[in-house]
Structure 1
């Protein structure tokens, strides 16, 4: 199957691994359908907490401060795992170029004072750089985070804020042109009932050293707020392979149905991914979920 460049999907993520954790199944599904997919990552994830000892000294606090470069390779491997066999692998793309902005770390971390930290970027510069990316690719569908940044990470919040600020500038740049403007913009989120169901199913197979999350410890959205559900069951094996590729950040359980970050808190691998449509020319029918990000697009 060749790439159908008439359908273009842009996914915006803060750090390597976010793309697979939040939207890996969606990426794999639409690549399999031949959609022209682009994953744009804002930083190299330099401040990530490394799992295990082998690469621990690459971390920002481990001495070498080389983790970001290593995570480019992990992202490349993850995107290759999400790509259909027999076709060129999806390649990473970084906002402003690889290493232009740096992972800010969690809220309140000293790393936020680094001169290249994303949170120290001039907001207009950040937005204008994103506008250039969107205009050059001309996607019909854009995926970002919710305004809470999924779990409150400052970089995730900036991805959301810069996306929202970029859209009017994109429309102004593309008005009257030959390329279509973005038609639909989504927030990638976790459905509350899917999270509870996944945790319940995993309760009897928690790996040694892991734990189940406390009530409301993992972020999720009420079911009634969700507008779109993408079935990724046919490609969930690719999502699991993508998670395994991010080995400094993610451990996949022997079941292949759960994973954990460095905190060893179990999280389910979903066979459906959920979104909230925040901008569109045509809204879905009330109470009825979309099953295709391109639904309603000519």
Structure 2
């Protein structure tokens, strides 16, 4: 963590790879600009799918060593983005990936069998207190996490949302856990999101290029999953198009979870660096800061309105 940075961003994610998919370009951009970036990952992703045949022996129902492997993948991804301060909530192994299954309606839900140490089963106050310690140490002005549905229903994403939002409240209470440091109020909190119009634009360009398999079943003019939000919900778009290659390198690092012929690489190839490097957010605490984009009315910087931005 660049403790001397005037601007400090804290991101709270559920599993290794979530950060690179959601905000990889923004993270790389802010590091390059000298801003402080801290990533807290809540689990090691032990229940993730393994896309590398030679590593299938690491699966939870075999050797159960995927979490340690994904820890290494996360290290490589953060090196690609330039992020030097990344931590696991409560320390590595404190909380286990809860797993998931797909609901008939197309969103994720908790798996039938959940490990006793699963993040989904975590005591909320205990987990939030681990994060309070980080908040009071790092003293970020901006927090990024998921919305109340975890963007697509994954139980660990939902729990990460709950933990992050509760920790932000506890961290600012002077009388709460004085032993963890001086109270700190986070000025702006954002939930990750994807602009519906941006997604429709990308889908349309994919289909026009003859790609019918990337995001198969999604119609540029049809219904979209809940992670894609109406533009009226979007508050900020960070244009980090210059850092798309760093984002792609971070995605490549998560090789057990993401393939180079998968949807993210198809987007980068067909939609272009400018679109792939634009990441959107919903402001849920704080006041939008100028300048706002005259076309969209969105902020262009998560730190907009914060002194020195």
Q: TM-score, normalised by structure 2?
A: 0.83
Equivalent position of 1:167 in the other structure: 168
Equivalent position of 1:240 in the other structure: 248
CA–CA separation in structure 1 for the residues paired with 2:262 and 2:68:
28
Equivalent position of 1:94 in the other structure: 88
Check if 1:191 corresponds to 2:195: yes
- The 1:169/1:50 distance shift into structure 2, 3 A limit, reads same
Check if 1:291 corresponds to 2:300: yes
| SS of match in other structure, 1:146 | coil
Check if 1:227 corresponds to 2:235: yes
- The 1:226/1:211 distance shift into structure 2, 3 A limit, reads closer
Structure 1 residues 195-204 or 49-58, which shifts more?
Answer: 195-204
| SS of match in other structure, 2:7 | strand
What stretches of structure 1 of length at least 5 have no aligned partner? 84-88, 261-267
Instruction: Give 1:127 deviation, angstroms.
Output: 1.4
Q: What are the Cα deviations for residues 32-53 of structure 1, in whole angstroms up to 9, with x where unaligned? A: 1011110100000001011131
Equivalent position of 2:55 in the other structure: 55
- The 1:255/1:178 distance shift into structure 2, 3 A limit, reads closer
What stretches of structure 2 of length at least 5 have no aligned partner? 101-108
Equivalent position of 2:129 in the other structure: 128
Equivalent position of 1:272 in the other structure: 278
Instruction: Give 1:214 deviation, angstroms.
Output: 2.7
- The 1:23/1:164 distance shift into structure 2, 3 A limit, reads same
CA–CA separation in structure 1 for the residues paired with 2:187 and 2:10:
12
Instruction: Give 1:217 deviation, angstroms.
Output: 5.3
Equivalent position of 1:82 in the other structure: 81
Instruction: Give 1:92 deviation, angstroms.
Output: 3.0
CA–CA separation in structure 1 for the residues paired with 2:58 and 2:110:
22
Poorly superposed stretches of 4+, deviation over 4 Å? 177-180, 254-257, 284-287
- CA RMSD of superposed structures (Å): 2.8
Equivalent position of 1:212 in the other structure: 216
Check if 1:73 corresponds to 2:64: no
